[in-house]
Every structure is written in C-alpha cells, then in structure tokens.
Structure 1
Amino acid sequence: MHRNRTRISAAVALLTMIAGGGSVPAAEATTGAAAATDPALQTITLTGVAGRAATTLRPFSLLGVTWADPRATVDGVVQVRTRAIGTGRWTPWRTLETDGRAPADVRGSSDPLWVGPSDGIETRVRGARRPLPAGLRVDLINPDTPQPANRRTANNRATVEERATGGRRATAQEHASARRAVPLPARPVPRMLTRAAWGANEAIVQGAPEYTGPTQVFFVHHTASGNDYSCAQSASIVRGIQAYQVRSRGWDDVGYNFLIDKCGTVFEGRKGGVGRTVLGAHTLGFNADASSIAVIGNYGGVRVTPRVRTMIAAVAAYKLGAYGNAPAGRVVLTSGGGNRFPQGRRVTLWRIAGHRDAGLTACPGNALYAQLPSIRAIAGGAPTGVHVLRMPGAALAGKLYFTKGLIRPVWTTSTPSALINRFEVWVDGVLRVATPGSNRTAAIRLAPGSHSVTVRALHLSGRSTTVSSRVVSDASAPIFRRRPDLGLRPGTVSGAAVPMHLDWNVGDNVALGSVGLVRPVAGNLGTAIRTRDVGAPANRATTFTVRATDRAGNAVSASVTRTPWVVSEVSAQRSGTWHTLRNPSYLGGTAVGGSTAGASATWRFSGTSAGLVLSRGPRAGRIGVFLDGRPQGMVDLRSSAPQPRRVVWSRWWPQAGEHTVRVVVEGTSGRPGVALDGLVYLK
C-alpha cells in the first residue's frame, strides 16, 4: 500500500526516544494522552523543534506516523529506526510508505510498519521543503498487550445457520438443496484463523458491520509493513494493524476483509462473517460489491510463495464463485470516487485486481502485481488431473469395471483441496452422492446392469471437470450348465494314477472371470475349455472341485467324487484258451495272454465309466469289445513300441448303473496274441 515517490538527501532530525529516558539529542516531544490511558497505544507528538526528550517508553512492535488533517500530506520522506528489545541494536533507517487518504480517515497517516519488539525509536524527515502538517505524531502499537473484556459478546454470536454457511445467511438455493434426496455439503470456507483465533480486539470495533451486494471484484493488497517478521508473529501483526487502523486512523475496524502472511496463513479480517458480503475499507471508490485480501509485507521486489499464491486464489474463488462470477474474467464497475477515477466513471477491472488498478498507488507491489495473472488462472481454472485411481469393490477388465453392486471409487486431482468446492458422483446422469472437497472416495450401490459412473470435481470458481468409468453390476454367481464329472481315458494305469478326464460346463450371464481346480490340487482351468486330463490313485476315493468366478467376484463351486477300481484279469469270466504272463510291467506283475480266435473275458460291475487295460506292442493283435451284449467295434493293439497297462477302450455314462464288458480275441493273422491286464471302472 504505497505510492511511488522521490527521495531527497536533505534531512531534518525530529526525535530520538529510548525507554527510561536519556541524554541524547532529540527534537522536542511529548507523549500523548493515549499513552496514559491505553496500554496498547503510545502516541508521541512531534514539534520539529530541536531539544531533549526524557520519558518512559513502553515496549512496542508496530508503528506509524499520523497527523491531524487527513487531507494534508507530509512533504518529504518519513524515516524511522528502532532499537530491539534484548539485543539493544538499532535497525537501519526505514522509510514509512504512504498510501493516501481513505474516506474513513480521521487523521492522515503513513502505512503501519512492523518493527518487532522494540523499546527505542528515532524519527526523521528527509527532503521537507514546507512545514510539516499539524498534529504530527508517532503512534507506537503493542499488539500483545492484554485487551479489555469484550462487551459485545452477545452481538458476536453467530447463529447456527450462519456457522453452517461460513458466517452468512443460507440462500434459498441452499435451503432447497437441504431438502433434496442427495444432500450437498456446505460450500467450504478456505482454512483461516478467525478473529477469535488471532485475538481481534472486539472492544474497539465501532458500530455493527455493514454489508454490500454480491462480490463482483476481489482486490489484492500488500500491507507495506515490512517482510522482516516470523510467521509466529503474524497474529501480532494483524492485531497491530487493527489497532493502528482503528486507534490511529479512526476507522471502525481493520479495513481488509482478509489478510495472509508470507507462510500462507489466512486471517479473517473485518468483522461480519467470512461468507457474507462485508463492506470493507480497502480500495477507495470500489469498496461496494467487493472483497479484499492483504498480504502482510512489502512485495515491490519480492514474489509471494506458491502456497501464498494458492491461498489468495482460494479466497478469491470462494468469494467470487459464490455468486457465479468467473475469477479469471473482467467486470465493469462504477467508481464511487477516488484519486484515480472520479465518481460515476465506468471502469473495466479484472475480477481479481490489484489495488493499483483502482487507485494511484504502487500496491500490491510490482512483484506481487506481476503474479496476479497466475493467481487468476489458479482461482478461475477447472480442477486438473482428475482421474479414478482405483475402484474397491470392482475389478477392472480391459476398459470395464465389474462389481457385485457396492463400489467405492477412489479419485485424485492435482488441484489443491483448498480450491475444491465438492466432489459429486453421478450414475447414468443422476446425482447419487456429493462429498466435501477434502474427500477422495464415496460408496455407491449399483443396480444390476451396465452403468456410466462419473466423478465430477467442482472448483470454488464454479467450473468443473468430470471423469467417467463404465461399470457393470452383476450380483449373480456363474452357473454350472454341466456339473463336474469324471470319465476314464486312454493312458497308462498305475497304482498311483489312473488316467481320467474331468469335464464341466460353466457360464455367467455377464462375463466369466476365471475357472480353477481347487481339489485335489489347485490349478487354473481357464474360461475357454471344458475338459482337462487328470489322474487319481487306484482304489481310493478322490474329490475334484471346480470353482468358477465371474468378473464381479461372484463365485460358485461344484465337486465330483469317484473311486477308480482296478479289477484284475483273474476276476473275469473267461472262455477259450488263455495263459498266464509274468512281467513286472503288468499290473500286479501278471497278465493273461490269448491268441486263439474267440477266446473271451467278461466282467460285471456297477459304475459311471469303464476302461479295458491291455498291453500295446509291435506284434499285438486286435480284440473285439462288447458292452451290455452289443458290439462296440474292434481295437487294434499294435504300436511301434511296447506300452503295458494301457487303457485302450473306455466308456462314460451320466449315471451309475450295472454293465457288462466282454473282450473277444480276434486271432489276427501274423500277430494273433494279446495281453489282458484287467478292467478299470469308476464308482
């Protein structure tokens, strides 16, 4: 908050004061009445007459120079230096900035300057060519002095409705929203320290807050109070600015609607409600229908940090977006009269404007003013980087999600939460859930079928970004069209493994995800096949369990238990000529051989599948097979290499039953012999 000015080398010494008095050269000075009656404010009158001053000076942290006539100006540059408490060191000379008069000024004034805890001051004017204004004095503020009890407690209590809406009255639209089936979360207030939190002195506030129309413009200022402070001192600085603007300048309250320190902490400014359109005293001629924020410090040559920039944008978007005004846009306003635009002049301003856009001032400093375009972009942009990270309760297959019904989409955005109004989740164009901007997930239950699930991120500015996913809800488990069953197959028989095939048929009304064997061993069966070669120990019951899972995670299992019984050739009813064969490769070490045409062997059994076990070889002949008295054809046992204990013929039945299998030797020319090793059946 300062104007450009020319500095002149000529100097007039005015005052040196140190706590406890002393014999230092000084101008004539007297402490004002406020020093005796107000513990937070000391006023020291300057006469400009050289002399000595001996007085008791209490500690102070913020100062400014004021004079009686707010229309007058100080000719020249006012400079001060102070002595730090503790070290006793004097600071370099620092220039007090002057931003011109405001309508509410009772006295003329410089901008306040934060000097930190101090107990001594020297003041001088450089380049004065005409008399100094009457009533010139130094105002010393101690913002950490305990304040009187607040007598306006009853008036400061916000209603429940005001607290729920950030200190403003709920609008008709918000009342209507509360009655909707899907409640909308309250529009979030940017995180900040309230007046109570930073210790506002409500006892000095004059009158009730005044209100103006919807926020059309948001002004950015700097306090010009210096950057030599720690963020732990920020609340003290804000208290000091309030005290200076009320006690020294005669205002009703602190003039800014909001303040922010160099670390990005936002402070509630003028009293009246963060969410309401409080009439401030910040921008001459344009306080109506406006809001403002002041960055604590000088930003003529120093840029604000990314966090400060983001928080300025968040507060601006919060105020402008509440009334549908685009923070990155422009607006035409009518001046109420100021030092740049006369009353009644129509002026086009950015919605987020610098103080200098409306007045003859360098505020908010060249460096900060150059950052306003990026602040507008942050405040007015739609949420960026919005995408769904994952969707618990659903499985992704290609570009589709599959769920049993309940999903919890988890999303993210690169836009800071401070700039997010809320997130919404829509299903097939219907709003289902609205959640605060700090949340990144929500639970949704979907009806069976295919749905478009859209996450919508709403910026405080009113702009939004959406991202959609296709989600199929399937609450039904797969269905076995054919339950698992076992049949004997060609292969080598041993006591440890009888060759079988496992068959099944399973499907899903939406999409089958996986089919796996659970027992007796685990394995992936795939979704495309319907049979698998397996084996099981002879003469022992074995259970095979197949589990099918659809894309949504619904699962079903089905099992089959069978015992492969191996019946030796000895138990068959034989006719014709047979002779015993002995070889370790036969089952039990023995088999029977036949080479006479018409020799036969018959077994009777009850089961679901049966297989004949014989030996194959280069000189093996052929056999005829009869099932339940009906011929099944001839089986040629010849092979290039010996293959004992082979299932050479098998049959399967859907249900267990009594059956008869008969083997007849053909007596094949040149290779009439066969080696019969037994029968295998499943039961």
Structure 2
Amino acid sequence: MNVIRTINRSVAAVTTAAVAATGTVTVTAARELPAYAGPAAEPVLQTLALPTSAPAGTFAAPGSARAEATGLTVAPRVTKPFSLLGATWTDPHARLDGTVQVRTRAAADGRWSAWRALESDGTSPATAGSADAGGRGSTDPVWVGDSDAVEARVTTGAGTHTLPAGLRLDLINPDADLPAAATSGASAAGAPAAAPATAAGASASAAQIGGTSFTEPAPGRAAANAAVVVPPRPAPTVVTRAGWAANEAMVVHPPEYTTDVQVLFVHHTATSNDYSCADSARIVRGIQAYHVRSNGWNDIGYNFLVDKCGTLFEGRAGGVDRPVLGAHTLGFNSHSAAIAVIGDYTDSAVATKVRWVIAQVAAYKIGMYGHLATERTVLVSSGSDRFPAGTRVTLNRVSGHRDTGKTECPGNTLYGQLGAIRSLAGAAPADFSMARMTGATRVGDAFYARGPIRPLWTTATPTALLNRFDVIVDGTVVASAPRAHRTTLLNLNPGRHVVTVRAYHLSGRAVSLTRAVVVDRTAPTYTSGPAVWLRSGSLDGSVPIYLRWTAADAGGLRSVTLTRPRAAALSTTARALASTAAPGRSTTWSIRAADRAGNTRTATVTRTPLMLTERAAVRTSGWVNVVDPGYFGGRALRSITAGSSMTFTFTGSSASLAASRTPASGRVKIYVDGRYSGVVDLRSATTQHRMAVWARSWPDSATHTVRVVVEGTARRPGVALDGLVLLR
C-alpha cells in the first residue's frame, strides 16, 4: 500500500513548472497546490532534465561549454514527494566534467536547504557482461529527507567542458510501490528491527544461517567427538531485505556470483550525516530504487550497508554467506564484496560500533575463504579509471574505494580508520582468560573437582567478531559453544585430565587456554584415630589430653578441621592436637578432613576422664597422710621410704599419674602391667600440686595395672601421690 499524502500549501516567491517528457520547462505563476489524487501521484522515480547548453553566447556547441565558472540553472519547481536524488546521464562510460548542485524544499515546513554538490566517482562501476552492464552514468545519490520541490544548477570551471548527454535529475520516493508486507511491519516510517540474514538471501526477515545449535556433553562422562554439534559460523546480524522492505519486483535477473571474496571494499554513500537512523531503511530503499531505476542495474550495488548507528543492512540479494557479484568498485567487482557506510566521512569519523560492524563483515566474508583481513593480496583489474584492464594490483584485504579508482570515497577520515578496522577484523581473540572454574578448586597449577565443572572464560573481543569456543578434553573436542557463550558444563571421569578452551575469531584465528583438572570422587581416609590420649600437665580444673589422628588422600588434603567440641582449623600435616577435657564428663571430638576436590570425611571419638584417688590403690607400708589445700580433696599420701609402692588397677584406654612437684621431691619408678616402664623425677623449681607427671595410652580400652615404687632418692627421698587419672 502506498503512502498517501495531501499537501495544500501556498508557495510564495517560488516559480513552479510542470516537468514535461522532453525535460522542457513551462514557467507559470506561483499557485495553490492541489491535493494529491492518490498513489498514482507518488511514483518511485521522477526525472527532471538538466540543461547541457547555456543561453546564446555561452556555449560553443551543444554539449560543450566555454565560460569562466559559468552555471546552468533549473528554476525551483514543485514535484511529487521524494527523499533521495541524484544526477544521471545516458552513457555509463562518460564522466561528468562539472558539478551538479541541488537544493530542496522540506515537505514538513517548506524550508529550503542549502546548496549541496552531488559527488561523482567517474564512470559506472558495473561489470561488463553482467546484468548491471549498460544502464546510465550517475553521481552518488543524496538523501534529502521528505521533500516536495527542487532547484538545480550545473557549474563548470574555466575553459571548455563537455557535459554528458541526457543529463537529468532523478528524484526517488522510497515509500512508493512498497511491498504489501511492508505496510504492517517494516514500513517506510522507520528502520525495522535487526534480524539475521538467510543463507539463500531470499530474505526471511528473521533467520540465522544454519541456526545456533549447541550440545553440552552427556552427564557422567566426557562427550565423544561424534556427539559434538559445532555451531555454524555465525553470519553478521543484519536487517534483511524483507526487513528494510526491498522492492523485489524491480529485480529482474537472478543474482550473479563471483568465485570467492578476497577483498572487502569500504565505501561511503557521500550523503549528509544529519539523517535519523529511524530513516535508514528508507535510505536503503531509496538507494536500491536509484541503482535500479536510475542507473539501470539489476539490484542495489552494495553487498552491505551500515548506518551511522551501527545497524547493518543486507544489500544485494543472493545470500550474505555467498560471493554475490555486486556493482560497487569499477574494475574490481569480482573476488570482492563491498560495504557502504551511509553518510559522508570526509571530515567525520565513524563511530566505534560502525568500526566493529565493518570489521565483522570483513572477518566474516574474507575469513570464509581462509584469509585474514590484515593481509594483502593481488587482484587483476578488469578496467578502471586508475588501473587498465589486466593490471595486477596489490591491495589490502580491507581497502577503500579510492584504492582502485579516482575518487575520494570513502572519505579521508574513514579511510584513515581502515587500519584499525583491519586489525579488529584480522586479530585473534584478545585478552582471553579463564575467569574461574566453577565446581573446582585451584591448587597450584591444577584444578580439583569431585563433580561437574563449568569453566568460565572471558575475552575483550566483541562477541560480534567471534566465531565459537571449543572445549577439548585430553585432545578430544567434547563441546563447542556459540560465540555468545562463556561457559559450558563438563562431566569428567575420575582421574587427571587436560582441559583446553579454544576461542575462534570470526577471521579464523584462534587462541587457547589449557588447565589441568583432577577429578576425585573418593573421600579422605583415616589410617589411624582419631584417638584421645592423656598427657602430662596441670590437672587443676581440667584434664590435659592429646587428640591424635592420621588423615590421608591420594589427591592431597585441602584442609583438616576440628568441629567438636569447638571449631579450629588444623594443619593438613598435623597429627596431634594438645587440648584439655572436663573431668568426670563425657566429651566428643570430631575431625573433618577435606581433599582438594572437596570430598570430606568426618571421624569422631568420645571419652570420659575419671579420677582414682590414692586411697583406691593397694599400698605397701611407708605411706603417710599429708594435708594441703593444693591436693585433691585437700590431702595426699607421702612416702620417703625406698621400695614402698602403690598399685592401681583399672579399665580404660589411657592413664596418667597425679602427683606433686617440689624442689625437694624425689623420683619414682613406674611398672605397667608388671613390666618396668621408666623413672619419673618429681623435682621442680617451684611447688606444683595436682600435676599429671606421667601418662600411658593403649589402642583399646582394657584392664591394666600401674604400680608406682618410691626410689628413695638421696637427699630428696620424699614423694607425694594424689591418684591416677584414666579415660573410659
């Protein structure tokens, strides 16, 4: 459905004229414009003949001019709606030896624009023998926005200048003859939402080449190579031809193809930069109409277009993933593709996002054939205004239009940015690093896990410039992740593995990260203990003990922790802990050992310290009662007689002798279960009551005897015993 507008405006001080088929002008007085009759009043193309000869005396002959910077003027005239215009002429091989300047009137407010020159790049870039051959010569089209009147002039420099025959203005209305589907979705009112391109170029408005399938390995094992689905090489996300409402009816011939893409040529459309990105789809439609209706080509000449906001548009039909032959770079359309940045970048730089988009297209199209955008190559000219046919020309794989023709395109500033764009397009993924390995603990140079792990990686390269990530375990690809993914799930068998994550740039370059991963699902073991042993020390209010254990793990221990009766971190190499226990009360000790993979095992032991007083022992003669608040119960047994003894019989797993230490104390001999165990010297520099002076432990609880015999040490024969402590 065509857009229908009604304009009723008085045009003051503006001469109007009807545009006749011959291009002659009939001057009338300014008048009230009638309302438009309907769609027929809004054609895609209107033409306005430009004079190629001046009034008498100005030109020596038709088609030539001799003057001092003279001008040929077309008076202002009202037209039907248009938004884009350019100048064309009959012979596509002729050059415009002059400048066409235009100014237009805005339909919205009636204001006239400043004069602007139409840029001409020389002869038609269409390839001889292609569906684009023939046609007309032209300037680059200029987007002027919604307009309803135009004024033009042709200027020449000093001397004689030949103007091409059939010189005319072509006014394009991008909103006329829209496809029916465009009126409900991608209308002329604004740029449609971006959608991936189709493989065939037949422009389904939302389809990705090959899809984006991604398969994670099956749980419990590393995936076999045959089970891995590698994501297709991603095409750039574009507004498809359906998305920008291309007029497919005007495309007469099927797409033509070259063999490959060796070079991406960067152009600018040489239009102003003050357009709204909401109009970008309309601009692209206008360029298509100009290239087809005005130039006489089969379709829009560029393979891609990108606006100043970084939105990428599919250009010529045939498939963004195929080497479609375009009409963009005279003499070098074969073995190449072209992207045009909408706007004029003579003095203005393109935005960062636009640089990324150009780099993405370069990496995609050039990398598809195994080449890097940072390289140079040789193309053979089929004939241009700079390189005759057959000339071998060395070019950067990302080149500007000016590299092959006598043109300022793509503008000085954008041309100066091509080096950075090449670097982006041909680089390997930058700053590729492993952020973490979820589910695993790093110890030294290896990661330890007991279950599934998720490596998480990062890169500074924009996602649009990436291809995919491969995850390789022990030399076999087990997962392949799309470019937007930064992690994958791995279920590895127990043992040591080499895990590699490889990042692929869209250019084909790759970088890798490799990590050792040890999968251990076996918890630590206790080869001994935990066990509680009595030890020497003060018995004043508590019982000194040792907690003993031996924990081991084949992959190494990460931590050993006391969890009861209090929490304490222990060394992984420790085998004992000196502590105390409350006398007469049951106490439980728990130790948790964790290995590097996170497996844990807890072991527990419970014991009760009990006191046997000296009066519970079987004694020989020579012992006397002594009283002192420092003794248990305020009294103890003391002997100075050599050979006097005291025997304790008990059931338990550990025992310690309670005695007093003084500067005058002597020594005692200890016998355990009838066997001599050793001598204990009770002398100390200060007096210390309630002391555990000797201890012995056994693996299991059993009945034992401990006999204490007074030695009768010279000059200090006395000893004072306070009982025996045992563990049950």
- What is the TM-score normalised by the length of structure 1? 0.88
Structure 1, 393-402 or 530-539: larger mean CA deviation: 393-402
Counterpart code for 1:515: V
Question: How far, CA to CA, are the matches of 2:242 and 2:84 in structure 1?
Answer: 21
**Which residue does the alignment assign to 1:123?**
152
**Which residue does the alignment assign to 1:149?**
180
2:701 aligned with 1:656: yes
Does the CA contact (< 8 Å) of 1:28 and 1:46 recur in 2? no
1:85 to 1:29, Cα distance in 2 relative to 1, 3 A: closer
Q: 1:561 aligns with which of 589, 598, 606?
A: 606
Point out where structure 1 has 5 or more consecutive residues left out of the alignment. Answer: 1-17, 168-177
**Which residue does the alignment assign to 2:137?**
108
Q: 1:46 aligns with which of 44, 49, 63?
A: 49
Does the CA contact (< 8 Å) of 1:23 and 1:52 recur in 2? no
**Which residue does the alignment assign to 2:440?**
394
**Which residue does the alignment assign to 1:139?**
170
**Which residue does the alignment assign to 1:62?**
84
Structure 1, 257-266 or 358-367: larger mean CA deviation: 358-367
Question: How far, CA to CA, are the matches of 1:179 and 1:633 in structure 2?
Answer: 70
**Which residue does the alignment assign to 1:15?**
none
1:284 to 1:421, Cα distance in 2 relative to 1, 3 A: same
Shift of 1:112: 0.9
**Which residue does the alignment assign to 1:3?**
none
**Which residue does the alignment assign to 1:94?**
116
Question: Any idea what SS the aligned residue of 2:362 has?
Answer: helix
Shift of 1:38: 6.9
Deviations 1:42-97 (A, max 9, x none): 51423548999897534432222223443444442111122334443332211111
Q: 2:449 aligns with which of 394, 403, 416?
A: 403
Counterpart code for 1:147: L
Question: Any idea what SS the aligned residue of 2:180 has?
Answer: coil
Structure 1, 519-528 or 618-627: larger mean CA deviation: 618-627
Shift of 1:267: 1.0
Does the CA contact (< 8 Å) of 2:82 and 2:173 recur in 1? yes
Question: How far, CA to CA, are the matches of 2:204 and 2:350 in structure 1?
Answer: 36
1:577 to 1:74, Cα distance in 2 relative to 1, 3 A: same
Does the CA contact (< 8 Å) of 1:334 and 1:343 recur in 2? yes
Q: 2:431 aligns with which of 354, 370, 385?
A: 385
**Which residue does the alignment assign to 1:600?**
645
2:266 aligned with 1:220: yes
Counterpart code for 2:245: G
1:54 to 1:515, Cα distance in 2 relative to 1, 3 A: closer
2:102 aligned with 1:80: yes
1:639 to 1:131, Cα distance in 2 relative to 1, 3 A: closer
Shift of 1:133: 4.5
Counterpart code for 2:19: T
Does the CA contact (< 8 Å) of 1:619 and 1:638 recur in 2? yes
Counterpart code for 1:41: V
1:378 to 1:513, Cα distance in 2 relative to 1, 3 A: same
Question: How far, CA to CA, are the matches of 1:23 and 1:541 in structure 2?
Answer: 110
Does the CA contact (< 8 Å) of 2:238 and 2:314 recur in 1? yes
Does the CA contact (< 8 Å) of 2:98 and 2:163 recur in 1? no
Does the CA contact (< 8 Å) of 1:21 and 1:54 recur in 2? no
**Which residue does the alignment assign to 1:346?**
392
Shift of 1:530: 1.0
1:55 to 1:350, Cα distance in 2 relative to 1, 3 A: closer
Structure 1, 102-111 or 645-654: larger mean CA deviation: 102-111
2:12 aligned with 1:30: no
1:51 to 1:469, Cα distance in 2 relative to 1, 3 A: closer
2:331 aligned with 1:282: no
Shift of 1:132: 5.2
Matches within 5 A, 1:358-369: 358-369=404-415
Q: 1:537 aligns with which of 582, 585, 597?
A: 582
Question: Any idea what SS the aligned residue of 1:297 has?
Answer: coil
Matches within 5 A, 1:194-213: 194-213=240-259
Question: How far, CA to CA, are the matches of 2:560 and 2:181 in structure 1?
Answer: 74
Does the CA contact (< 8 Å) of 2:74 and 2:153 recur in 1? no
1:679 to 1:40, Cα distance in 2 relative to 1, 3 A: farther
1:132 to 1:340, Cα distance in 2 relative to 1, 3 A: closer
Does the CA contact (< 8 Å) of 2:376 and 2:395 recur in 1? yes
Task: Say what the alpha-carbon RMSD is for the aligned residues.
Answer: 3.0
**Which residue does the alignment assign to 1:587?**
632
Q: 1:318 aligns with which of 337, 343, 364?
A: 364
Counterpart code for 1:569: E
Does the CA contact (< 8 Å) of 1:19 and 1:58 recur in 2? no
Structure 1, 669-678 or 46-55: larger mean CA deviation: 46-55
Shift of 1:312: 0.6
Q: 1:268 aligns with which of 300, 304, 314?
A: 314
Does the CA contact (< 8 Å) of 2:669 and 2:680 recur in 1? yes
1:680 to 1:23, Cα distance in 2 relative to 1, 3 A: closer
Question: How far, CA to CA, are the matches of 2:370 and 2:22 in structure 1?
Answer: 50
Shift of 1:19: 7.7
Shift of 1:229: 1.5
Counterpart code for 1:420: L
1:132 to 1:344, Cα distance in 2 relative to 1, 3 A: closer
Deviations 1:283-313 (A, max 9, x none): 1222222211011111222222222122111
**Which residue does the alignment assign to 1:502?**
547
Counterpart code for 1:394: A
Question: Any idea what SS the aligned residue of 1:371 has?
Answer: helix
Fraction of identical pairs, as percent: 51
Question: How far, CA to CA, are the matches of 1:27 and 1:359 in structure 2?
Answer: 40
Shift of 1:405: 4.9
